[in-house]
Amino acid sequence: AKMAEPSANETLKNEKDPAMIAYLKSLGIDPDYQGPKDDSRRVVIQEFRLVFKDHDKPQVLTFASQADIDKAKKTPLVVKEGCQYRMQVTFRVQHDAVSGFQIDSTISKMGKSVKDNVMLGSYPPSNDFKPITIPREGWQEAPSGTVYRGDYKGKMKFTDDENNDHLTFEWTLKIGKDYA
């Protein structure tokens, strides 16, 4: 039987070389981290939100339960045409580090689909949730004009280098003349 690789935290606890200890800590690895006993997930996505440059009410989807994940499909996130926006994902890594955390997304309207992949990076386990904004700098612009208004169906999948499916959900984006 193959032995399980030690977690980054176990490696840090057993490390004797001060330079290696400093390096592991610089990566954000906490030697005292303890993963939750009642939740085996490696990555927990708490919420997905659209944040706007000129509007102070973000559109938010939460993922505390299966009911929330099901609700995401039926609750359109409303975006004003031509507005500047960013996506924000709030998550935490549990138990062991995750490498190559990424989002694969597809958004489609009337048979035309656009696929995208956003690499978020590698993260050590932590008890704290952290937000990541996409794009990290600047804003994205929603399309504008009659032809772009309406409902878009989306699917988002959070994976890693080992192709683990941390969360997959369907959602609806509604581009309108105004925010609500």
109 by Cβ neighbours in 10 Å (0-12 / 13-18 / 19+) ranks as middle
Dump pLDDT digits (tens) for 20-66: 778 777 777 777 788 899 999 999 999 999 999 999 999 999 999 99
Neighbouring CB atoms inside 10 A of 32's CB total 7
Dump pLDDT digits (tens) for 85-107: 999 999 999 998 899 999 999 99
pTM: 0.84
Strands 112-123 and 98-109: antiparallel
Q: Which of 156, 162, 17, 46 is nearest to 96 (CA)?
A: 162
